[in-house]
Amino acid sequence: MSERERIQALLGAGKITQEEANLLYSALDEADQALNQADQVIRDAVGSNGAAAGKAGFKSETLPPSGEAQPLRWVRVRLLAGALEAKLDNSLSQPHIEGSAEVRQVGQDLEVTPRLPGGSFLGILGHVGPVEMRLPPGWGLEVDSKAAQIEAEGIAFLKGRVMAGNVELDEVQGLDLEVSAGNIEGSLLLKEGSHRLRVTMGNAELELEKGTSVRVQSGVSMGNLETKGFAGNGGSLQLGDGKAALEVFVRMGSLELEAK
């Protein structure tokens, strides 16, 4: 069953109102429009053979599996649209979550089920707006979103997929993220482990904070690449002893990397 069919079924069963259904349909339309635009722009610019993409080495299937620096417990959220904010809180031993969502234990991890303003839980069709999380050390955030705004501050790891939307980072310590259409900006503090960012269409502006130790492989297929403050040149850069590894690729758009 498609997401639109699920919405229709919930509406027919009286579990959501027409207004809530329209809200979900609008979020789906927004995500679909952004993805279609990204696909069309890439087809027009690259051509069917993908030659230009190969020029910068953007082939997501060739990227090695990334891994967090140490075993983590996870808060997992799959949402259709809305706002999600996660911050590190060293005073906590367990995550603290506020907003329209239900939280349940799944093994050692937590699963957050978004809820509509009217009170209906939609599971993977959730519309979050907003949900705020405070995570203790040793916890990461995994997201799978259609059209959402995500903010992460100081957390151990952010991974997952954003189909359409924006991501803001502040001293995030681990990253494995795929953005289909949107922008990502902010700062990373990487000291070990493997990390990566892939953007199909959009812009990425990243600062590597003081204390970062990382080797960076970067590339842009169609657009601009700017780097500042690193040892090395071209797509191979290093900061500090290079204990961590970061791969950043933008297919169409711009990439700015700065070492602070």
Q: pLDDT, tens digit, for every residue of 235-256?
A: 789 999 999 999 999 988 899 9
Q: Please give the Cα distance from 237 to 76 (Å, whole number).
A: 32
Residues lower than pLDDT 70 in the chain: 1-3, 27-28, 30-31, 34-70, 115-129, 234
- 214 touches 196 (CB < 8 A): no
Q: What is the pLDDT of residue 187?
A: 98
Q: What is the pLDDT of residue 45?
A: 56
Q: What is the pLDDT of residue 210?
A: 93
Q: What is the pLDDT of residue 51?
A: 44
Q: Please give the Cα distance from 87 to 50 (Å, whole number).
A: 39
Tokens standing for residue 219: 């590339």
Residue 107's contacts (CB-CB under 8 Å, 6 or more residues apart) are: none
Q: What is the pLDDT of residue 41?
A: 57
Residue 62's contacts (CB-CB under 8 Å, 6 or more residues apart) are: none
State in words which class domain 60-259 has. Answer: mainly beta
The candidate with the shortest Cα–Cα distance to 42, out of 247, 218, 180, is: 180
Q: What is the pLDDT of residue 10?
A: 75
Q: What is the pLDDT of residue 130?
A: 80
Q: Please give the Cα distance from 9 to 1 (Å, whole number).
A: 10
Please report, for the chain, the start and end positions of each structural domain, with discontinuous segments joined by +. 3-55, 60-259
- 178 touches 198 (CB < 8 A): yes
What pLDDT, in 10s, does the model give residues 11-65? 888 877 887 777 777 766 766 776 666 666 556 655 544 444 444 444 433 334 4
pTM for the predicted model, two decimal places: 0.80
